Amino acid sequence: MFRFFIQVTLAAILLDFFFHSFPGDDWKKKLSVVMETKEGRSKSFLSKDSSHNEFLELKNFPTELVENLISIEDKRYYYHLGIDPIAIVRAIYWNYKHGKIISGASTITQQTVRILYSEDLPKDKYLRKLVEILFSIRAEVKFNKSEILEIYLNLVPFQGNIEGFSRASKFYFQKDVKFLTKEEMVSLVLLLRELKPTKEKFFSRLDKYFVNDPNSLDKAYIEKKLFDQKKFVNKEISSSMEHVTDWFYNYFNNTPGRFKSSISENLNSKIQGILNIENKFIKDYNAKETAAIVLKVNRMKKRLELVALVGSLNYEKETGQVNGAIHQRDAGSTLKPFVFALGFEEGKLFPNSIMKDEETRFKAYWQKGAYIPRNNDQKFWGTMTASEALANSRNVPAVQAIEKVGVEKFLDFLREIEINHLKHDYTDYGFGLALGTGGISLLQLTRGYSIFASDGTLFPLYLGESNQGEILFGKEKKIFSNITTSEIKHILSNNDLRKRAFGERNFLEFPFPVASKTGTSKDFRDAWSIGFTDEYVVSVWVGNFDGKPMDKIYGAFGAGRSMHQIFRLLAEKEKLSLNYSQELTEVKVCRLSGKLAGRSCNGYLELLPKTKSLSPCDGIHETKISAIHSPTQGDIFVLDPYLPLEHQKVPIKISILPTSNNVYSYQIFNNKEIKIEKDVNETIFLKEGSYSISLKKDNTVIQKVEFVVR
């Protein structure tokens, strides 16, 4: 009875062992992810155990390679059940005869077991061998012979962190496995016996396989390929693709395999080159890092295609391994278009709505005191339309806009467009949410702006395709009407409207239509620039990963330079456009009343619904103001060493309202004060240095602008 009990118990244990699920059974989780770029180039990145491998089906390995493997490693592979008794007896005899281990008896199945179930095998070497035999028999039951070969060919370890014959072929011989010659195939198989053999031992083995045809063996070639110093392979990708593959690896962590991405390696590389060149102009102002993203709007397939992502200037640097494209930073003024768009959509604001840029105390029930926003230039411009306020990124009107919309409503909107890190209650963010409180990542921001490029629809983000189909982030959602997005488009592409803040010459002007917005966070820690057409959304962030402030680098200059160059790059191969709703028409409105501009009005072209009827402005307004229009605050003029200095002058543009009672003058730095009786429009040469220009009225400074020549 006791013997029967023991037999039943052992049988139960064996049955449980054979039918129990082990982690190693799901062997494909050990594979690397292989990404194919838009150009068709393969980019491999590390598996979970920090190895490089590449999955191929058994049928894609050369038949001759498989035959050589079986001939050298396991002649009776197709006839045993996981272990080879003949090989075991032979190994015991030769090892006993020589008094040391000179021969092994491991089958291909046993070697595969050690790859798949290494963590499940005991540490004691004798017990380990016994359990390995049981696992080998189990493997023969669970997998057929072809499957075991496929696992082995893909995962068998070579030198360093290289696994599988496909990766080894590229590592040692720089060619696809299907192009291997016989001498190369045999050499790789022999390496399995000893990954770092001496040359003498290796070639004595190799000679045996070419004894009948020694002339076909090029020993010098094999020696060069196998015995040159090989390094541990950490990455196989170009520096511009490092952050892409890191990010994709985290996404594909549980779904290894091969997929075709939407990323263009050529475009990515060119953009990184642009970022590094443009950084030379701003690095002296403590701007050490830059990141950029390009999304392509595919209306036909209803998706956004990630075609470029650069996370830093140089991945090889320690700080450069931070991916600036996906980390949250203070959003600055970049969220303002969403606030105004929500106001337009709900009819609480219109592009020609009159707003007051003046000192305002905003009070809410959740605050003890009042919220008093300030503009970046520490000035108030008075009366203006919503369009002018947004185009010139005025802070006070933006807070007025979120007050009309509702802070809670705006927070709900940001969450709806999948800016999901904003977990706190709206009272924790307050009115400052309109000015970037709460932060955003460059990727979130770029996808958010795509709503304006795609006529109000938020499309899912397309990363590529695998065997399971399209790889998409997010869902398709209708956010705004085409009328609202057209109005925002028109405002952000109106160069005339934003000149008051950005000057006559700025990096937001293009020879083709582009709508754009900039942002600068508190203490100049982050500079943003984002632009869009109907075809693309381009965004750039500039700053420091350690959070240190830059030296007065604004978004328009710091990030705008790079964004400008990226758009020009895209425009070389594709015509870029901005189209508007047919339900809208251009109307000239008065800047001070928002009504139809009259003769005395300082007007601009506004895009309004055809059904909207405006009454004419009956006010009498000054048609211009006394102001310095160029340079603008924070401008940086860079002297090009390859151009004559006489062609590199700083434009000075000043307008005045002369009367018989007023005396105007301007002064550049400590130079002589110059009296003026009419507008100034001239250029002057200035050496490198920091400057200021002051406009005086009756000996009182009414405007002062600081700028730099480098």
DSSP for 545-598 reads TT-PPPSS--HHHHTHHHHHHHHHHHHTTS-------TTEEEEEEETTTSSB--
Cis bond upstream, residue 157 (ω within 30): no
* Structure letter (DSSP) for residue 260: E
* Structure letter (DSSP) for residue 440: B
Give me the half-sphere count of Cα atoms (radius 13 Å) on the Cβ side of residue 316: 5
Short-list 426, 402, 393, 391, CA closest to 349: 402
pLDDT of residue 413: 93
Q: Which residues of the chain have pLDDT under 50?
A: 8, 11, 16, 102-103, 232-238, 254
Q: Return d(Cα 126, Cα 574) in angstroms, integer.
A: 68
Q: Return d(Cα 40, Cα 638) in angstroms, integer.
A: 40
For residue 422, count other CB atoms closer than 10 A to its CB. 19
What would the two tokens of residue 16 be?
């449980």
What would the two tokens of residue 638 be?
């860079």
For residue 2, count other CB atoms closer than 10 A to its CB. 6
pLDDT of residue 254: 47
Rounded to whole angstroms, the maximal C-alpha distance in the chain is 125
What would the two tokens of residue 688 be?
């490198």
| 261 Cβ contact list (under 8 Å, min separation 6) | 35, 36, 37, 38, 244, 248, 306, 463, 464
Contact by Cβ (8 Å): 393, 521: no
3-state secondary structure of 296: strand
What would the two tokens of residue 363 be?
């009070």
Contact by Cβ (8 Å): 308, 240: no
| 291 Cβ contact list (under 8 Å, min separation 6) | 275, 310, 311, 312, 323, 324, 325, 442, 540, 541
pLDDT of residue 537: 96
Where do runs of H (alpha helix) occur along 434-475?
442-453
Contact by Cβ (8 Å): 216, 206: no
Q: Return d(Cα 56, Cα 222) in angstroms, integer.
A: 25
**Model's pTM, two decimal places?**
0.72
pLDDT of residue 447: 95
Strands annotated E in 521-622: 526-532, 536-543, 584-590, 603-609
Q: Return d(Cα 326, Cα 323) in angstroms, integer.
A: 6
Q: Return d(Cα 150, Cα 65) in angstroms, integer.
A: 12
Distance of CA 354 to the CA centre of its chain: 38
Residue 363, class by beta-carbon neighbours within 10 Å (0-12 exposed, 13-18 middle, 19+ buried)? exposed
Q: Return d(Cα 162, Cα 233) in angstroms, integer.
A: 7
Distance of CA 6 to the CA centre of its chain: 62
Contact by Cβ (8 Å): 499, 297: no
* Angle of CA points 699, 700, 704, to nearest 5°: 115
pLDDT of residue 236: 46
Short-list 225, 217, 212, CA closest to 168: 225
Q: Return d(Cα 500, Cα 677) in angstroms, integer.
A: 22
Q: Return d(Cα 471, Cα 262) in angstroms, integer.
A: 10
